[in-house]
Amino acid sequence: MRRVAFAALTWFALGGTTTGQAADSAGDKRFEHVTVKPGDTLWSISQAWLKDPAKWDEILRYNRLPSSDPTVALPGMTLRVPIVLAKKGRRAATLISQARRVEYRRRDPAKWKPAAEEMPLYRGDSLRTFDGATAQVEFDDAQILSLGPESLAIIKPVARDCDVELQGGRVFAGNRRVVTASARITPKTADTEYSVTARSDLSTLVEVYQGAAAVEAQGKTVAVSAGRNAVVPLGLSPGVPKPIADLPAFAARAAESEGEAAAGRARLNAGARVSRAASATAEGVNAPGDMDALGADLKRLAIGQPVSGYHVQASRSRDFSGIIFDKFYSIVFDKSDSAGAVIRLRDEDIPPGVYWWRVAVVDLLGAELPFSEPRPYTYAPADKKSDDLAAPALP
């Protein structure tokens, strides 16, 4: 709805035609915004922007122009070009959210202006945040980049082979390639998440939260794995990767970078290699339940009904689109006539971290009842017994 409202407001601001208005309401179209330069014609803009320049007349539907002749020079204005008609690669990213003062600068003209949500960012455009400000950018492949306060970044710089050139401040990069004055950072796995800080002395700090990243400088490359960081002084090779001193605090910053107002520290007692549940709220990330709480949930689900087993699932996402653990456990009766299911998570290949968990009861007839509401729990086994869940079958 926010994108639709933005397109409608832009139409009124630019003075669209009745035909364009009807098309907008019918198709929820989004637009590139093209600045007309001296000498530009409808035909030259179509050649530069459209996948099929012969469709130049489509631009007439969304803009009020002084002439329909494609060879007539246009006055200085901003044209709206439907994204579905535009060449791929013209738009590099979209500013999807911002807090407090954020400014942008086009390659041409080079003037800083206030940024706005849903605005397009093209190759070579710059973003800067001020004190206490943050911004989130979505690339055309849906990857997210988050800028911290007092940061300056160039999006898809034309002269450099990277996704972001960080000139100051901090970015939480996800699976993006970042360059600074002293280093080049390349994610090594599809699920890599890391932050880069460009310091005032032009050194670079790389902190990897998940996956792994290659840090290159002065002809040397070091691999930085999850839970570790590396410092690159200007003009020197990368330092030896070291454990992040306060991983829970770093995890909290990671949650905050994804739009969560994470206050305090995330309680991730999982050692060096951790994973965090996607879409967890700030409260959920900062204070997830531990596995004892999940065991208590199992007992509550069994109250008042005979149980033959449990179906336990864990996922990185709340909608369980990416399930990492999925198993049935049957009730076992022992010689003392007591019954229970012992869920030994230590026998499973589950990396320590915070995940969404849900449980379904299986009754005596083998019918599976609905899953419980997903909840984030910390899986951080400290010894051989801590990750066993006792799930009783009540008479």
Give the end of a domain, one of 64, 82, 100: 82
- CATH code for position 323: 2.60.40
Domain, as residue range, for 186: 91-248
Residue 270 within any structural domain of the chain: no
How far is 11 from 326, CA to CA, in rounded Å?
49
Kindly report the number of other CB atoms within 10 A of residue 202's CB atom.
Answer: 16
Give the end of a domain, one of 26, 57, 82: 82
Give the end of a domain, one of 197, 223, 248: 248
Pick the more confident residue, 22 or 364.
Answer: 364
Kindly report the number of other CB atoms within 10 A of residue 132's CB atom.
Answer: 10
Q: Cβ distance 232 to 214 under 8 Å?
A: no
Residues comprising the chain, all counted: 395
Amino acid 217: pLDDT: 97
Give the model's confidence band at 45: pLDDT under 50 very low, under 70 low, under 90 confident, else very high.
Answer: confident
Backbone angles phi, psi at 2, to 5 degrees: -65, -40
Amino acid 338: pLDDT: 44
Average pLDDT over residues 40-44: 89
Same domain, 152 and 75: no
Same domain, 185 and 159: yes
pLDDT, one tens digit per residue, over 272-309 is 233 444 444 433 444 455 666 676 777 677 666 677 88
Residue 260 within any structural domain of the chain: no
Strand partners, 152: 128, 168
Judged by average pLDDT, the poorest of 24-28, 32-36, 121-125, 308-312 is 24-28
Average pLDDT over residues 251-259: 59
Give the model's confidence band at 344: pLDDT under 50 very low, under 70 low, under 90 confident, else very high.
Answer: low
Average pLDDT over residues 355-369: 83
* Cα dist from 181 to 165, 202, 203, 299, whole Å: 9, 6, 8, 56
Strand partners, 247: none
How many domains does the chain fold into? 3
Amino acid 278: pLDDT: 43
Amino acid 275: pLDDT: 41
Judged by average pLDDT, the poorest of 63-67, 241-245, 351-355 is 351-355
**What are the counts of helices (DSSP H) followed by strands (DSSP E) for the chain?**
7, 27
Residue 262 within any structural domain of the chain: no
Q: Cβ distance 129 to 85 under 8 Å?
A: no
Amino acid 21: pLDDT: 34
Residue 256 within any structural domain of the chain: no
- CATH code for position 217: 2.60.120.1440
How far is 232 from 170, CA to CA, in rounded Å?
15
- Measured on CA atoms in the order 190, 193, 199, 204, is the torsion positive or negative? negative
18-27 vs 2-14: helix axis angle to the nearest 10?
180
Residue 384 within any structural domain of the chain: yes
Kindly report the number of other CB atoms within 10 A of residue 235's CB atom.
Answer: 11
How far is 187 from 174, CA to CA, in rounded Å?
8
Residue 38 within any structural domain of the chain: yes
Residue 265 within any structural domain of the chain: no
Residue 354 within any structural domain of the chain: yes
The pLDDT of residue 371 is above 90:
no
pLDDT winner (highest mean) among 27-41, 149-163, 274-288: 149-163
Q: Over pLDDT 90: what percentage of the chain?
A: 23
Amino acid 292: pLDDT: 66
Find the DSSP H helices in the chain.
2-14, 18-27, 42-49, 57-60, 247-257, 282-286, 291-302
